[in-house]
Structure 1
Amino acid sequence: MTKRNALFLACAAALATAPLAAPRDRQDRPHIEPQMTLRPCAADDSAYELLIYGDIGDSWWGESVTAQSVAEQLNGLADTVATINVRINSYGGSVADGLAIYNALKRHKATKAVTIDGVAMSSASLIAMAGDTVSMPPTSILMIHAPWGGCWGNAKEMRQYADVLDKFSDSMADAYVKKSGKAKDDILSLLKDGEDHYYTGEEAVAEGFADAVTNDDDGNDSPDENARAYANQLLERISARGAPAKYAGMVVTAALRGAPNTSTTTTPTPGGVNPAGARPAPSAPNPPAAPAATPPVDTGSDPSGAIPMTEEEKKAAAKAALAADKARREAIRNQFAPFVARTDLDVAALQNLQRECEDDSDTTPEAAGQRLLAMLGKDTTPTGGPRAEPGTQDETATYRDGAILSLLHRKDPQAFKHDEKSQQFRGMNLLDHGRDCLERAGRKTRGLSRQEIAVQALQSTSDFPHILEAVITRSLRRAYEASERTFVPWTRQATLPDFRQVSRAQLAGAPSLKRVVEGAEYEFGTIGDGAEKYAVQKYGRIVAITWEVIINDDMDALTRIPEMFGASAADLESDIVYGILNANPNMADGNALFSAAHGNLGNPAAALIDAVSLDPTVGNPLAAMRAAMLLQKGAEGRYITVRPKYLLVPPGLEEAALKVTNAAIVAARGSDVNVVGPTLTPITEPRLHDGSATAWYGAADPSRVDTIEYAYLEGHEGVFTETRQGFEVDGVQVKCRHVFGAKAIDWRGLFKNAGGTPSPFPGTP
């Protein structure tokens, strides 16, 4: 053997992932041959099933028969095939093969429905992205990472090979981008950071890599020696790469669920190619004659000629197996934890069942959960508080709803009455809730100080932060909705899609209708672009709930402070709207909102109370306002018939406004009656006092003509909150966010009178 060939084999051995965990020679070790089968699954040949199990590509040497076979078989399908059901259980392999299979599937016009039976890792996850729909059973796993491989040569050649790997990453990224809708930079960060990114079904759906988590979780219920070897090999491979403990047990469960057993393994036919289109791996590799880089592969490849495990590898495999079993046991304990303290259940039976599930290495967390649900539904009868029945109500949601209502009841017993969900929390303070949430999540609190319990409850993944967030949000929203906003009746609400300025066309600017004589064509009318422009603005503050609040059981900090923020958000809206009336800003035509040019500014010498005065020398200011608004003309110079509907006054004029709008207020002579005032609805607003103590306003019906328009950002009507675990403080930070804007759209629907000293009634001294 030449030195160069010896170096090549040494590099290959170093780059190869560890063989199976079982200490046996390779010839006695079960081997999962790649399976690529395409078979009809409908009587009319309208649907086919494509099975992709095992490694993607046979080896690092030579062309992949599997990829070629898939492409040829797909090309040979009849035009009547409308659906291809792709089922995947693979820990990856050749990137080139993965890209070829992905592109072959994407080119085919049939609908591709991908199901990840067990695992879709590395290049297998790339193939999954070809699906029009991607479904994942609860016990399946998706893993995405960077392509890797090895080469030998000088420094320049190795740098060039690194560039080749980056090119493969770029090609792979497009597939993940098209499926998830994520930015390419975000996907490239997954493919170039050197980490393995694992996703459960729910996590994959949340990231856009899958479309649904299916309820059908039927798998290989009786895994044989072949399937177990497959799972053990997978565990060893991912453990060697530092897979998080959270996923180790789940990956093995997924592999066992979908691993092909001996009854389904295809036997190779003479000639080297089996009916599934897979070729047995060569017994020994043939090194290349000249220096060359090996094709890029991911962690899924198991090159032929792998050497037996060393003692260190055996120890590492044993350690990984123990870690996986530890993770499996912990996951099972977490499922039982919420029920072990229930007084309405047989605790001894629950503990026995938990012990059985933990001690049986074949019992996965999912299987333990099914056994637990079966026991709860069959052998127990609730005797007290609420309990989630299997298939009827989510236990976590029930627990949270009850805790939230209990805390709100403590704050306001009249508004929030206890129900069956919250009864179990009666008498509990904030620290009690934190301790209960920690213990429910499987965390032990015995021996912890009050401070430690508070800090852990606030920073944990238990229900406690969610409960606090909900209490804060409801308190804030309730105060916001309860705050008086007097501008709502006489203004118009809108929704804006973003923070950019919008132009508003005035209702008074609609074109006049013109006569159409017989046989003539209709003329086009135009509405000019809106001249009045405005945009919404973002406002906000942060509320911090610290561990001191929990220890001190400070309900005011938990509810009163958010209520103050909610009321503040409502007050902000009123400040902005009434600030427009007080400021009298210029409109798009260059004239002030209330001006003689707009014909909506009354005689300031007349006081509001003069509306019921019988002094013939004093005009009725309400009648003058009514006449001025009726005489308003639209953009085309025609009357638009606008009448005032609301009378807006500062607090100093409230009594006068109530009098002049009351039909019972009449003059001394019975022949005179109050005819204008009763048609108006009085609105008293203290913010108007900042502009003038004597000025009053009229406003038309906003559905008839524009007045002031106020708007929220689309999807953010009202005040909203976001929560995160605090960094600046030891606790939870709740951000109050409010997006709001307002603008006077048309002066024709508004009127102002600066007011004056009221004239004495006749006969008074």
Structure 2
Amino acid sequence: MKTTLLTSAIAASLALSSTLPQAGPRDMPERPKIEPLMRLQPVAESGGVYELLIYGDIGESWWTESVTAQSVAQQLNDLDGTVATINVRINSYGGSVADGLAIYNALKRHKAAKAVTVDGVAMSSASLIAMAGDTVSMPSTSILMIHAPWGGVYGNAKELRQYADVLDTFSASMADAYVKKSGKSKEEILGLLQDGEDHYYTGEEAVAAGFADAVDSDAVEEADPDEQARAFAAALAQRVTARGASARYSSLTFAAALRAPRASVITPAASSTQASIDPQNPPAEPAANTPPADAGNPSGDNTMLTPEQKQALAARREAIRAQFAPFQARGDLNQTALATLLRDCEDDTDLTVEAIGTKLLAFLGTATPSATGAPAGAPSGQLTQDETKNYRDGAIAALMHRSNPAAHKLEGPAANFRGMDLQDMARDALARAGQNPKGMSKQEIAVKALQSTSDFPAILGNVVSRSLRAGYEGTQRTFLPFSRQATLPDFKEITRVQLGGAPSLKRVVEGGEYEQGTIGEGAEKYAVQKFGRIVALTWETVVNDDLDALSRIPFAFGASAADLESDLVYAILTGNPKMADGKALFHADHGNLGTPAALADALDPEKPNPLSDMRKKMTLQKGLDGRYITVRPKFLIVPPGLEEVALKVTNASIIAGKGADLNVTGVTLTPIVEPRLHDGSEIAWYGAAEPGVIDTIEYAYLEGHEGVFTETKNGFEVDGVQVKCRHIFGAKAIDPRGLYKNAGQ
């Protein structure tokens, strides 16, 4: 019987373990690994910008955590439609081609803009993922590497040839991604994927080749690497040189291998019993765990394990983690100590799953609480997501209280910030972020807090956002009752067909055919437009404790957004624009233009009632096919100069001077007074039908952007934070028959 065994999955990695010294000889440096990390999280309060970290090996691993296509795709699918940008940061030697292709396709499918940054290395399948970026930037000390997919198999000659064909198929599939990004021909890319060589690119060379768009010169300064990391980087550089790369690439690869966030490089020699934590430098998320070498396999090479052994190890690991999982999100536990216990239990293969459960119960019985969401000075430990939220919510509520004590109470988490000004909050946020503000000037504290990864920018941005929203929602928009709201999916022009513009239904006799109908020419077109301004929060704002910059000014901006909507809607009434038929909105041919008469005539028993004339004209309106459509006036819209008359007309049950004659017309109308009509005419007045019965004026927002929205980022032109106020809005008169105008006298 012939059997075929894939000794390793199809991969696009450097296969470092096969060329570096084995783990057995302890006098040789062990390879540090990039901590497997796949994290998708928001980086702006609005939720419009997310960051996706892809660190470590790509594809499923028996021994350690890794970045899998399933985990990436699931989290991307969970994002809602408001996400506009995904910042993808990559530091990976590569891995499974299948997972790489799936991650690439998942990113390409998402409608958000993808901005990829190669933090350290993006090799083989990791470089494939990088090609999903709408923009790709690389620091000067980063490396991109492209090469052919590889794998191993044993069998007869036919099976080996078939496997070679499989590798060629993967090459062809990968090539499309590089072609789309670089603009090179498929033949050129296949040359890189099928020549058996490793092709290295610096940032500048990747840009020149079309694989990247920019060289990022503002690389973040990292902590000094330890000796083991340096030994690994040197071995990697030596291997790159041995495979034909120049000394220049070797040195750049050395630098890139050392480039990683502080918490992203772990070593087998790292202590697992660290008990103290620097309160000024709280740890990042617990490092992934590295299982021990199997006792029967002292070299640590898991390729010698049987499938049954691998399954047993994986089952043990999953059972252990299942026991710990319910407690890993609890804020009342020291998560660092819990992670250490988990790592120790996984490493000690002599412990049974039952014994580990006993150790976990003992830990829970003696565990001490971790840090709270209070300001700096709280107990040491790792901050949880809930604690960060409590801290931010408290600070935001405290600032809102200072701005408007009557509307916002200083209670709950906000009470922790009693007596704090903006400078105090900036200092506290820096301390929570692990930066010691001692010895800094007020300006230095303000600048660092505004441009750091602390909570401070998010707090200020949220206060500005809430103030904007309050200003927007608190400003009266008198057009809402007689207008209809819509939501548009994009910025493209849409078409609205008038009620009655659709063909009438005709009787279909038994066995007869349905007649073809056509839409009339009464279709109106319009689109939403984008409006916006930027509010800058500078370090002077913090030093001067300028609450106006956080509350009153954004409040005024929000009110301005609401006023903009009113400006656009009432400009339709006063501007009398042309409709789709080429005639003005208010036109005799539309049957919606009354004989000029003063509104006060409705109260004069000696004169014809102009409101009765409006009611008659609107009631006699017909559809485009000649059918009556039964329109009734509902709203009486007037400038401030006619407010008194409008109130009398719409509230008096009996017309003075007419004895028992009832005011049967005026009381059916709802008065609306709008100052914007004054600029057009002090005596003209308007009528409108119920927008649910017939179209009048339609106003629209972009889907997911109703009202005013904000986006916060660190300022480049200013030393501080910039808050972009974005408002997307449009309005259009849809059907003249639902509106009426009398020029007045």
| TM-score computed with the length of structure 1 as normaliser | 0.59
Q: How many residues align?
A: 527
Query: Secondary structure in 2 aligned to 1:642?
Result: coil
- Corresponding residue to 1:440 among 416, 432, 440: 432
Kindly provide the CA deviation profile for residues 179-228 of structure 1, in whole angstroms up to 9, marking residues without a partner as x: xx99745999xx975379xxxxxxxxxxxxxxxxxxxxxxxxxxxxxxx9
Which residue type is aligned with residue 669 of structure 1? K
Counterpart in 1 of 2:545? 553
Query: Equivalent residues in 2 for 1:590-601 (5 A)?
Result: 590-601=582-593
Q: Note the C-alpha offset of 1:246.
A: 1.2
2:652 and 2:663 in contact (8 A); partners too: yes
Quickly say closer, same or farther: Cα 1:578–1:30, change in 2 above 3 A: closer
Kept in 1: contact 2:483–2:699 (CA 8 A): yes
SS of 2:486 mapped into structure 1: strand
Instruction: Kindly provide the amino acid, as one letter, of the partner of residue 571 in structure 2.
Output: G
Alignment of 1:173-192 (within 5 A): 175=174, 184=181
- Partners in 2 of 1:401 and 1:491 — Cα distance? 37
- The question of 1:463 aligning with 2:455 is answered yes
SS at match of 1:448: coil
Equivalent residues in 2 for 1:14-53 (5 A)?
A: none
Measure how far apart 1:173 and its partner are.
Answer: 10
Contact 2:569–2:731 under 8 Å retained in 1: yes
Q: Secondary structure at the match of 1:509?
A: coil
Task: Answer yes or no: is the 8 Å Cα contact 1:20–1:233 preserved in 2.
Answer: no
Pair 392,507 (structure 1): closer, same or farther in 2 beyond 3 Å: farther
Tell me which of 422, 427, 431 is aligned to 1:430. Answer: 422
**Uncovered stretches (5+) of structure 1, i.e. residues with no partner:** 1-15, 33-53, 57-84, 93-101, 103-118, 136-140, 149-163, 197-227, 278-338, 340-344, 365-369, 757-765
- In structure 2, the partner of 1:194 is 202
1:177–1:412 CA distance, 2 compared to 1 (3 A) = farther
Give the aligned partner of residue 328 of structure 2: none
* Structure 1 residue 419 displacement after superposition: 2.6
CA RMSD of aligned residues (A): 5.2
Residue 87 (str. 1) matches residue 87 (str. 2): no
The CA distance in 1 between the partners of 2:643 and 2:146, in whole Å, is 74
Match status 1:540 vs 2:555:
no
- Match 1:124 to one of 95, 111, 117: 95
Alignment of 1:372-521 (within 5 A): 378-380=367-369, 394-521=386-513
CA contact (8 A) 2:522 2:580 kept: no
Q: Helix, strand or coil for the counterpart of 1:533?
A: strand
Letter in 2 for 1:632: Q
Superposed counterparts of 1:298-317, under 5 Å: none
Equivalent residue number for residue 325 of structure 1: none
2:578 to 567, 572, 586: 586
Partner of 1:109: none
**Residue number in structure 2 paired with 1:627:** 616
- Describe the SS at the equivalent of 1:129: helix
Conserved 8 A contact 1:357-1:363: no
Match of 1:257 among 275, 279, 289: 289
Whether the 8 Å contact between 2:120 and 2:260 is mirrored in structure 1 is no
Distance 2:667 2:123 in 1: 76
Superposed CA offset, 1:558-593 (max 9, x none): 111111110000000000000011110111111111
* Partner SS, residue 401 of structure 1: helix
What is the CA deviation profile of residues 282-326 of structure 1, one whole-angstrom value per residue up to 9, with x for unaligned ones? Answer: xxxxxxxxxxxxxxxxxxxxxxxxxxxxxxxxxxxxxxxxxxxxx
What amino acid does structure 2 have at the position aligned with 1:623? S
Distance across 1 between alignment mates of 2:229 and 2:609: 95
With 625-634 and 246-255 compared, the bigger mean Cα shift is at: 246-255
Determine which of 637, 640, 656 is the counterpart of 1:651.
640
Q: 1:529 to 1:496 in 2, by over 3 A?
A: farther
SS in 2 for 1:628: helix
CA 177–442 in structure 1, closer or farther in 2 if over 3 Å, else same: farther
CA contact (8 A) 2:373 2:390 kept: no
Match of 2:741 among 742, 749, 752: 752
Instruction: Give the equivalent residue in structure 2 for 1:612.
Output: 603
Q: CA deviation at 1:532?
A: 1.1
The 1:55/1:405 distance shift into structure 2, 3 A limit, reads closer
- CA radius of gyration, larger in: 1
C-alpha deviation, 1:229, in angstroms: 9.8
Residues 481-515 of structure 1 show CA distances to partners (whole Å, capped at 9, x for unaligned) of 11101111101111111111111111121332333
1:609 Cα deviation from its structure 2 partner: 1.1
Deviations 1:598-646 (A, max 9, x none): 1111111x2101112100xx21100000000011110111110101101
Change in CA separation of 1:507 and 1:392 when aligned onto 2, cut-off 3 Å = farther
Contact 2:446-2:539 at 8 Å conserved across structures? yes
Q: Distance in 2 between matches of 1:266 and 1:120?
A: 29
Q: Secondary structure at the match of 1:661?
A: helix
Residue by residue, what CA displacement relative to the aligned partner does 1:138-169 show, whole Å, maximum 9, x if unpaired? Answer: xxx99852459xxxxxxxxxxxxxxx986759
Q: Write out per-residue CA displacement over residues 629-682 of structure 1, whole angstroms, 9 at most, x where no aligned residue.
A: 011110111110101101110000011110111133522232211110010100
The amino acid of 2:591's aligned partner reads: G
Code of the aligned partner of 1:613: D
Q: Separation in 2 of the partners of 1:662 and 1:581? A: 25
Instruction: Report the CA distance between 1:452 and its aligned residue.
Output: 0.9
Q: Which amino acid in structure 2 is aligned with residue 250 of structure 1?
A: V
Kindly tell me: are residues 478 and 375 of structure 1, through their superposed partners in 2, closer, same or farther at Cα, counting changes over 3 Å? farther
Q: CA deviation at 1:416?
A: 1.1
How far did residue 752 of structure 1 move?
0.1
Match of 2:569 among 577, 593, 599: 577
8 A Cα contact 1:20 1:229, kept in partner: no
CA distance, structure 2, for counterparts of residue 391 and residue 440 of structure 1: 9
For the Cα contact (< 8 Å) 1:480–1:569, is it kept in 2? Answer: yes
Given the superposition, is the C-alpha separation of residues 363 and 268 from structure 1 closer, same or farther in structure 2, using an over 3 Å criterion? closer
Change (3 A) 1:740 1:381: closer
CA distance in 1, matches of 2:399, 2:660: 63
Q: Name the CA shift for 1:438/1:120 in 2 (closer, same or farther; >3 Å).
A: closer
Q: Contact 1:174/1:184 (CA < 8 Å) preserved in 2? A: no
Shift in CA distance, 639/726, structure 1 to aligned 2, threshold 3 Å: same
Q: For structure 1, which segment, 512-521 or 467-476, has the greater mean C-alpha deviation from structure 2 after superposition?
A: 512-521
Matches within 5 A, 1:666-685: 666-685=655-674
Partners of 2:433 and 2:492 in 1: CA distance: 45
Asked if the contact 2:374–2:391 (Cα under 8 Å) also holds between the matched residues in 1, the reply is: no
2:618 is aligned with 1:638: no
The residue that corresponds to 1:145 in the other structure is 122
Q: Please name the residue that 1:306 is paired with.
A: none
Distance 1:403 1:264, change over 3 A: farther
Q: TM-score, normalised by structure 2?
A: 0.61
Deviating more after overlay: 123-132 vs 686-695? 123-132
What displacement does 1:440 show? Answer: 0.9
1:602 maps to 594
Superposed, which structure 2 residues align to 1:92-241 within 5 Å? 121-124=92-95, 126-129=97-100, 145-146=122-123, 168=148, 175=174, 184=181, 193-194=201-202, 233=232, 237=236, 241=256
Give me the whole-angstrom Cα distance separating, in 2, the residues matched to 1:392 and 1:612.
Answer: 69
Whole-angstrom CA distance in 1 between matches of 2:384 and 2:300: 50
